[in-house]
Amino acid sequence: MGTVWRMSMAETRGFEIVEDAAPEFEAVGAIQRGLHAFNQSMGGDYDREPVTLLVHDPDGKTLGGLLGLTFWGWLFVDWLWLSPEMRGKGVGAELLARAEAIARERGCTNAYTDTFSFQAPGFWQRNGYAEFGRLEGMPAGHARVWFRKAL
Which CATH number is 64's domain given?
3.40.630.30
Higher pLDDT, 47 or 49: 49
Instruction: Report the number of distinct structural domains present in the chain.
Output: 2
Average pLDDT value for residue range 40-64: 93
Q: Which pLDDT value is given to residue 68?
A: 98
Is 60 found in the same domain as 131?
Answer: yes
**Please, what's the largest Cα pairwise distance for the chain?**
63
Instruction: Verify that 33 and 64 share a domain, yes or no.
Output: no
At 4 the pLDDT is 61
Query: What pLDDT band is residue 6 in, cutting at 50, 70 and 90?
Result: low
Q: In terms of residue numbers, what domain contains 16?
A: 4-43
For residue 46, the model assigns a pLDDT of 80
User: Is the same domain home to 18 and 65?
Assistant: no
32, 82: one domain: no
CA atoms of 91 and 16, how far apart (whole Å):
50
Q: Which residues contact 64 (CB under 8 A, 6 or more apart)?
A: 54, 55, 80, 81, 82, 83, 86, 91, 92, 95
- Is the domain of 54 the same as that of 39? no
